[in-house]
Amino acid sequence: MYKLQHCNSEEEMVNFLRNLFEKQMFGVSSWWGNRLGIKASFIRLFFIYASFTNALTILIYLFMIFLLKLRNHFKYRKRKSVFDL
């Protein structure tokens, strides 16, 4: 499915895995980062630290994943004519 690129250093491998998980898997942190204007890594750290304190944070994160996946199905699509309904 995904080709593992030939990485010369450990840093390249970490960046590759981070991009894979953030862009291809969920994208919750990057979506909130773009909306709030802050780095996605801060949001990721918030969810990691908050998940140690209570289980509600994990449920909120899973709910946001569900909403982000669901919103692609209900986006407004411009139709060419009335008969395309």
In SS3 terms, 13-67 reads as HHHHHHHHHHHHHCCHHHHHHHHHCCCHHHHHHHHHHHHHHCCHHHHHHHHHHHH
Is position 66 within any domain? yes
Q: Which domain holds residue 69?
A: 27-76
Per the prediction, the chain carries an average pLDDT of 77
Question: Given this model, what pLDDT does residue 79 score?
Answer: 64
Question: Given this model, what pLDDT does residue 76 score?
Answer: 64
Is position 61 within any domain? yes
How many structural domains are present in the chain? 1
Is position 53 within any domain? yes
- For helices 56-71 and 28-36, angle between their N-to-C axes, nearest 10 degrees: 80
Is position 34 within any domain? yes
Question: Given this model, what pLDDT does residue 61 score?
Answer: 84
pTM over 0.85: no
